[in-house]
Amino acid sequence: MATIAMKFGGTSVADIERIRHVATLVKREVERGNQVAVVVSAMAGETNKLVAWTNEAAHGGNNLAIPDQREYDVVVAAGEQITAGLLAITLNAMGVKARSWLGWQVPINTSAVHGSARIEGVPATDMKRAIENGEVAVVAGFQGVAPGTRISTLGRGGSDTSAVAVAAGIGAARCDIYTDVDGVYTTDPRIVPKARRLEKIAYEEMLEMASLGAKVLQTRSVEIAMLHRVPTRVLSTFTPDVGGTLLCDEEDIVEKKPVTGIAYSRDEAKITLHKVPDRPGVSAAIFGPLADAGVNVDMIVQNVSEDGETTDLTFTCTRGELTRALAAIETHAKDIQYRAVTHTADVAKVSIIGIGMRAHPGVAQLMFRTLADKGINIEVISTSEIKVSVLIAEEYVELAVRALHSAYELDAA
């Protein structure tokens, strides 16, 4: 007998029939003698609808003004409340004792950053007692409670994070994330039909995959899984008995290829400042105001100065932050003293990821060679111990991902 957490995403609970199917999967775990907490997302499409309503209410649908984030959270958290209640009703109707738990009831304590709050703790004392008494706890994902009792939400895709945090909070032996794909793949199978499902992936690798664009899990959920060492599985609601991918410690992976997976992100924008003075303090003058404006600068390159006096500096951020970034730069034009500024959103980032990279020399070189052979120009490069990312023109993303997938011998036979 074990305590486990299960999580079901939006497509898994899209209608009452699917919720009934989910209930059978929960019931099966109960019949195996497990104590279960199950975390649910809103029914597919619900959250988008709620978000649209908040925009419409705030300013007739004009996307520029932002509604009060605290009220935004009250509205968008509602989708998960509905699913939690429906699943509890369904379980009870099947003879499985269950009750719903909203974020504030658990409680899932979060920071006060409404709209993208961070979970700070899941005490869950009463809920744990209920589970131990044999009642299934159906937890509304995506929501929590900010200091001062206001409802918060965790950012889009946040139910994954709720699930792992609940698993850690109740000391679950594992967290099973049921979704509409049967695991984590070497890359996006929609681009590379020969992508392979990974049996296992190290927490560190999954963290890079998620933050570099793979959409399977919210990045923060992987951070929490890694921090608390929660064995987390990704599996399909529709074919729960085949496949799956286990997130685990690096030591539990026997075969370490140089590259485990390839991620890409189209959500990139590039800004270049031309002819900024090449002297101490200039980077601080540029990146200080960007940080103050809440822009997350990702990749940076500073070119070699040709004349010894000025240099060009390029950096990237998300497309959503581009306008804010340009505004911050222009406001501080006097301090930065650039000659001109150019920008484009027609760029994308492609990354190779793998813990095996540490032990294999020449991994980056193969990436550059492969892209060169396809005539793809690399605009910016950034690396860490277990990943190499390149910025390229967006039109070449698919070509690049496919070529790299073959080059690192990831293609399925």
Binding site for Mg ion (CB under 5 A): 9, 157
Instruction: Answer with the entry of Mg ion, ligand ASP, none that 142 interacts with (C-beta below 5 to 8 A by kind).
Output: ligand ASP
Indicate the residue among 9 and 354 with the shorter CB distance to ligand ASP: 9
Which of the ranges 21-29, 41-49, 174-182, 273-281 carries the binding residues for ligand ASP, by CB under 6 A? 41-49
Fill in the per-residue mask, 214 to 233: x = in contact with ligand ASP (CB under 6 A), - = not in contact: --------------------
Q: Is 79 in the site for ligand ASP (CB under 6 A)?
A: yes
What's the CA gap between 151 and 105, in Å, rounded? 11
Least distance CB 96 / ligand ASP (angstroms) = 23
Q: Is 41 in the site for ligand ASP (CB under 6 A)?
A: yes
- Whether the Cβ atoms of residue 142 and residue 153 lie closer than 8 Å to each other: yes
191 burial (CB, 10 Å; 0-12 / 13-18 / 19+) is: middle
Instruction: Answer with the entry of Mg ion, ligand ASP, none that 183 interacts with (C-beta below 5 to 8 A by kind).
Output: none
Q: Is 110 in the site for ligand ASP (CB under 6 A)?
A: no
What's the CA gap between 202 and 250, in Å, rounded? 5
Least distance CB 153 / ligand ASP (angstroms) = 8
Indicate the residue among 41 and 260 with the shorter CB distance to Mg ion: 41
Least distance CB 144 / ligand ASP (angstroms) = 12
Indicate the residue among 179 and 187 with the shorter CB distance to ligand ASP: 179
- Whether the Cβ atoms of residue 101 and residue 137 lie closer than 8 Å to each other: yes
What's the CA gap between 181 and 183, in Å, rounded? 6
What's the CA gap between 370 and 376, in Å, rounded? 9
Q: What count of Cα atoms within 13 Å lies in the side-chain half-sphere of residue 233?
A: 18
Instruction: Answer with the entry of Mg ion, ligand ASP, none that 289 interacts with (C-beta below 5 to 8 A by kind).
Output: none
Select from 139, 170, 131, 137 the least CA-distant residue to 39.
Answer: 139
Q: Is 42 in the site for ligand ASP (CB under 6 A)?
A: yes
> Which residue's beta carbon is nearest to the bound Mg ion?
157
Least distance CB 217 / Mg ion (angstroms) = 7
Q: Which of 144, 158, 213, 289 binds ligand ASP (CB under 6 A)?
A: 158
Instruction: Answer with the entry of ligand ASP, Mg ion, none that 156 interacts with (C-beta below 5 to 8 A by kind).
Output: ligand ASP
Least distance CB 389 / Mg ion (angstroms) = 23
Q: Is 261 in the site for ligand ASP (CB under 6 A)?
A: no
Indicate the residue among 175 and 253 with the shorter CB distance to Mg ion: 175
Instruction: Answer with the entry of Mg ion, ligand ASP, none that 79 interacts with (C-beta below 5 to 8 A by kind).
Output: ligand ASP
Least distance CB 173 / Mg ion (angstroms) = 23
Which residues contribute to the site for ligand ASP (CB under 6 A)? Answer: 9-10, 41-42, 47, 79, 141-142, 156-160
